[in-house]
């Protein structure tokens, strides 16, 4: 900023005087209509003050000292502003005042820098509190953040103090139009982006959350699951390649247990325990939420476990998620099921076809799926319940019509 934008004015506070009738001299700094006033520590007889000249007259016994001090204050403030300007530092009136008073100027923090510090911090927690893939997701978000700042602001970083809701709206737009990312993924990216903001607030770089009023955009995602007929087709089909036969078993097993891929892949013999009802139960922590889950083994699931020899601690043979889904695609083609089937379809089938379509209450479904709260279950499977109600009403209508 230019020196001309700063106005320094010395004013006499006539409302306050000591026993000798001397009044304090205050310094008033004005910058772009913002004003800051402070006491200089100097006292003067108001009769000897020349306001237009901004100095005391020679009638004042200490006029040389007082005028010299006023000039020193003025020069010091102008020099501080000049140094800020030469260093390319963006500053405000409070920054000048703090520097004049010797209060250390807090280094401005930037969004990308702040985010990277957070990522470096959680990297050290990999294997202790968080998993490697969680860390990699934060790195992925950081890469998008860096690209967005360059694309939108033509800068390498963005000041934390300038963050507002517009920043997230523009980021959402960028991810959607430039990166062609779906809204459900964008919501997750923004959720992770907001995490380091709490750290910045705790460290004093921000006095409030600039994104506090942000609401993620709702995504109405259709739940894809197998019908009773489609599940039966896959169960009863005979697949010649052994690799497809194994995937068939593992997929059907998950349709009757609701296990996610990692839970199925890491299922061990110790996780199969006899419950209070003398039946076998799966007892383990859900990897995603670290929530304890207890799932009774239905006959079909128990049959598949019994089929595999327990040579190692793990019940099922190892297979990658990528290959699992690739083989499921082949199974869908062979069985002529016109749906995009993935391992996650099994979990959806367990909740919908196996549980909700057999009148299992929503709260029990939520418990068996290991959801952290009922809202998640209701948001995901509310329409499945509506569809079930609709089907039952259609049956009732037919019965009434035939009376």
What digits encode the pLDDT tens for the residues 292-313?
A: 888 999 999 999 999 886 656 8
Report the percent of the chain where pLDDT is more than 90.
54
In the predicted model, what is the mean pLDDT of the chain?
A: 87
Answer for the pair 336, 351: CB distance below 8 angstroms, yes or no.
no
**168 pLDDT above the threshold of 80:** yes
Instruction: Provide CB contacts within 8 A for 341, sequence distance 6+.
Output: 224, 226, 328, 329, 331, 332
pLDDT band at 338 (very low <50, low <70, confident <90, very high): very high
Residues in the chain: 403
Distance of CA 38 to the CA centre of its chain: 43
Residue 142 in contact with residue 120, Cβ under 8 Å? no
- Spatial neighbors of 131 by CB under 8 A, at least 6 apart, are 287
Contact 314, 266 (CB under 8 A): yes
Per mean pLDDT, which range of 175-184, 236-245, 270-279, 375-384 is the poorest? 375-384
- In this predicted structure, the answer to whether residue 387 has a pLDDT above a threshold of 70 is no
pLDDT at residue 97 is higher than 60: yes
More confident residue, 375 or 323: 323
* 5-9, 332-336, 340-344: least confidently modelled range: 5-9
Q: Write the pLDDT tens digit of every residue in 184-223.
A: 999 999 999 999 998 888 887 888 899 998 888 887 767 7
* pLDDT band of 105, cuts 50, 70, 90: low
Could you report the per-residue pLDDT of 28-39, keeping only the tens digit for each? 999 888 899 999
**What is the Rg, in whole angstroms, of the alpha carbon atoms belonging to the chain?**
35
Integer Cα distance of 71 and 122 in angstroms: 52
Res. 3 pLDDT band, cuts 50 70 90 = very low
Beta bridge partners of 296: 281
CA dihedral 104, 110, 111, 117 (to 10 degrees): -70
Query: Measured between alpha carbons, how far is residue 223 from residues 148, 341, 345, 388 in Å?
Result: 32, 12, 9, 14
Query: Is the pLDDT higher at 6 or at 369?
Result: 6
391 has a pLDDT exceeding 70: no
**Least trusted range by pLDDT, from 95-109, 117-131, 237-251, 341-355:** 95-109
Domain 228-399, CATH 1.10.443.10 — does that match? yes
Pick from 353, 345, 359: nearest CA to 389: 359
pLDDT above 80: residue 134: yes
Please state the φ and ψ torsions of residue 279, each to the nearest 5 degrees.
Answer: -110, 160
Q: Does the structure show a pLDDT above 60 at 1?
A: no
Whole-angstrom CA distances from 297 to 255, 256, 279 are 11, 8, 8
Does the pLDDT of residue 96 top 90, yes or no? Answer: no
């Amino acid at each position: 900023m230019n020196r001309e934008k700063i106005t320094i004015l010395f004013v006499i506070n006539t409302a306050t005087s000591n026993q000798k009738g001397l009044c304090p001299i205050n310094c008033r700094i004005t910058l772009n209509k913002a004003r800051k006033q402070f006491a200089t520590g100097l006292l003067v007889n108001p009769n000897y003050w020349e306001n237009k000249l901004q100095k005391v007259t020679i009638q004042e016994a200490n006029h040389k000292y007082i005028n010299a001090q006023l000039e020193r204050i003025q020069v010091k403030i102008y020099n501080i502003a000049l140094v800020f300007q030469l260093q390319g530092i963006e500053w405000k009136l409070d920054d000048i005042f703090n520097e004049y008073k010797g209060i250390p100027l807090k280094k401005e923090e930037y969004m990308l820098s702040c985010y990277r510090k957070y990522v470096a911090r959680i990297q050290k927690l990999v294997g202790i509190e968080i998993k490697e893939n969680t860390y990699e997701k934060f790195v992925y978000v950081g890469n998008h953040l860096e690209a967005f700042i360059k694309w939108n602001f033509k800068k390498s970083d963005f000041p934390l103090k300038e963050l507002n809701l517009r920043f997230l709206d523009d980021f959402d737009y960028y991810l959607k139009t430039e990166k062609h990312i779906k809204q459900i993924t964008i919501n997750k990216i923004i959720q992770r982006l907001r995490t380091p903001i709490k750290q910045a607030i705790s460290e004093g770089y921000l006095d409030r959350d600039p994104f506090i009023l942000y609401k993620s955009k709702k995504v109405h995602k259709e739940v894809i699951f197998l019908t009773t007929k489609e599940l039966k087709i896959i169960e009863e089909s005979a697949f010649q390649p052994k690799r497809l036969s194994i995937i068939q078993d593992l997929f059907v097993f998950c349709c009757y247990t609701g296990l996610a891929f990692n839970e199925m892949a890491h299922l061990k013999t110790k996780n199969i325990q006899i419950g209070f009802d003398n039946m076998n139960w799966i007892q383990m922590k859900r990897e995603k939420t670290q929530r304890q889950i207890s799932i009774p083994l239905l006959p079909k699931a128990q049959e598949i476990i019994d089929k595999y020899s327990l040579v190692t601690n793990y019940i099922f043979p190892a297979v990658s998620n990528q290959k699992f889904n690739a083989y499921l695609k082949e199974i869908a083609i062979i069985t002529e099921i016109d749906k995009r089937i993935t391992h996650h379809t099994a979990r959806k089938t367990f909740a919908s076809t196996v549980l909700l379509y057999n009148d299992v209450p929503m709260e029990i479904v939520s418990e068996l799926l290991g959801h952290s709260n009922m809202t998640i279950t209701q948001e995901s499977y509310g329409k499945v319940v509506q569809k079930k109600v609709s089907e039952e009403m259609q049956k009732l209508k037919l019965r009434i019509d035939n009376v």
